[in-house]
Amino acid sequence: MEFNDVIDRRHTVRSFKDIDVSMEQIKRIIDAGIKAPSNNHLREIEFIVIKDKERIKEVIKKIPKTQSPKRVEFIMNSWKLKDEVQIKMYQDSIPKQYSMLCDANVLLIPLFKNKKNILEPKSLSDLNGFASMWCSIENIFLATTNENLGYALRIPFKNEIEYLNEVLEIPKDYVIPCYIAIGHKDDNENIEQVKVNFEDKIHFDRW
Ligand SMILES: Cc1cc2nc3c(=O)[nH]c(=O)nc-3n(C[C@H](O)[C@H](O)[C@H](O)COP(=O)(O)O)c2cc1C
């Protein structure tokens, strides 16, 4: 795929077909993640790959399996959202937080080595490890798109993080920033992205 096509075609996918993702594809995707820039030159990131359905279910079991339409409405009302395209995205995504990870062919858990307390940073540079991890995650998303595959991500809640550390036997100095689901996109899914006017986002010389 051409680079600009990859950029244009990347989007979040939360419904997957039950088709295998090959280990060659997974390796190419992770290789792209490892090649991202890292703050201290050391690329202190790791990845756990899980393909076995029962193991995936065990790892994601703290996520609510579904949310009733009433609960979704309650959550959305509390956020006071106004943008129609954004509202549609959340109406689709809130109930799919479990199924998108369960139905994807691969559950990928990225990790980075954490030397600072990223929840109480004293300066922006305390977040460098976290920022490097997200550079890597974006490479993963683009490489996934380049394989004609789809992906979804979820930020774990506190109770999920505690459980993930235990069930995945994570060393104390590593942090899991998100779950990533990778699989073949369900063609019926079509969540519109918010369109922004390019000209409105650029400022020359000052704001
Ligand atoms: C930092 C970050 C956190 C996100 N957290 C979640 C999440 O917890 N669950 C989810 O389904 N999507 C999550 N997303 C995906 C966004 O909802 C998605 O990127 C956004 O709606 C834009 O859609 P697009 O990725 O198709 O451009 C997250 C994205 C980012 C960048």
Give the CA angle between residues 64, 67, 68 to the nearest 5°: 150
Query: What's the whole-number mean pLDDT along residues 12-38?
Result: 97
Confidence (pLDDT) at 166: 98
Q: How far is the CA of 13 from the centre of ligand 1 (A)?
A: 10
List phi, psi (to 5°) of 154: -135, 135
Residue 161: its pLDDT value, please?
Answer: 97
pLDDT at residue 121, rounded to an integer: 95
Supply the pLDDT for residue 187: 83
Interval 125-134: pLDDT, tens: 999 999 999 9
Separation of CA 153 and ligand 1 centre (Å) = 6
Per-domain boundaries in the chain: 3-63+98-201
Mean pLDDT of 65-78: 92
pLDDT value of residue 11:
96
Residue 172 identity = K
93 CB near ligand 1 (under 6 Å) = yes
CB distance 89 to ligand 1 below 6 Å: yes
Task: Indicate which residue's Cα is closest to atom 14 of ligand 1.
Answer: 153
Please give the structure tokens belonging to residue 141.
């998303």
- Residue 36: Cβ within 10 Å count: 17
- Measure 205 CA to ligand 1 centroid, in angstroms: 31
At residue 152 the predicted structure's pLDDT band, cuts being 50, 70 and 90, is: very high
Per-residue pLDDT, averaged over 159-178, amounts to 97
Per-residue pLDDT at 143: 98
Q: Which residue's CA is the nearest one to ligand 1's atom 26?
A: 11
Ligand 1 contact via 154 beta carbon (within 6 Å): yes
* Residue nearest to ligand 1 atom 1, measured at CA: 155
CA of 44 to the centre of ligand 1 (A): 24
Percent of the chain with pLDDT over 70: 100
What is the structure's pLDDT at 116? 85
- Mean pLDDT to the nearest integer, 142-161: 97
What sign results for the dihedral spanned by CA atoms 183, 185, 186, 192?
positive
At the top level of CATH, which class does the domain 3-63+98-201 belong to?
A: alpha beta
- At residue 101, the 3 state secondary structure works out as helix
Q: Is 86 in the pocket of ligand 1 (CB under 6 A)?
A: no
User: Which single residue is written with the structure tokens 């997957």?
Assistant: 16
